[in-house]
Amino acid sequence: MSNEVKLDSSTMIVSETDTKGRILYANSDFCRISGYSKDELIGKPHNMVRHRDMPKAAFADLWKTIQENKTWNGIVKNTTKDGKYYWVNATAYPVTKKNGEKRFISVRIKPTEEEIKNAEILYKQLLQQEH
């Protein structure tokens, strides 16, 4: 039996973080897939759902990109509250609120099998370089 939680095509995980990566908003799909309640997610660092198979370089690139006011897209492996995992095709981008506060929005959808396969190969190589 697989520990993978597979997203269906109608799933759209949405979250908003502050500039430090703390979760300010999590939609119901985020809660349902991750297994965390809104109360457990709000105020916590977004990397609480980061899977240990994810290379540091992927998130360094994400942060560099969104802090330059650009949109980042990539395939990400996340972990659930109960230790399972799920893959997402993630898009993250900066927004500035009317009061001038900067926020980051992330929208995640179901990736293709090919996207997952390519990410697994790349991340394995990147993780080997980290060690």
Tens-digit pLDDT profile for residues 68-116: 999 999 999 999 999 999 999 999 999 999 999 999 999 999 999 999 9
Angle at 112 between CA 110 and CA 113, to 5 degrees: 125
Name the nearest CA neighbour of 62 among 52, 48, 72, 51: 72
Give domain status of residue 4, yes or no: no
In a domain, 8, yes or no: no
Domain assignment present for residue 107? The answer is yes
Beta carbons of 54 and 123 less than 8 angstroms apart? yes
Give CA 4 to chain center in angstroms: 15
Q: What is the domain count for the chain?
A: 1
Cβ distance 79 to 87 under 8 Å?
A: no
Give every CB contact of residue 45 below 8 A, 6+ residues apart in sequence.
20, 21, 22, 23
User: Which residues have CB under 8 Å from 99's CB, separation 6+?
Assistant: none
Residue 3 falls within a domain, yes or no? no
Q: What are the tens digits of pLDDT across the range 48-71?
A: 999 999 998 888 999 999 999 999
- For 112, which DSSP code? P
Residue 65, domain CATH: 3.30.450.20
Span 7-32, pLDDT tens digits: 999 999 999 999 999 999 999 999 99
> 45 is in which domain, residue-wise?
13-130
Residue whose token pair is 């990566």 = 21
Contacting residues for 112 by C-beta, under 8 A, at least 6 apart:
89
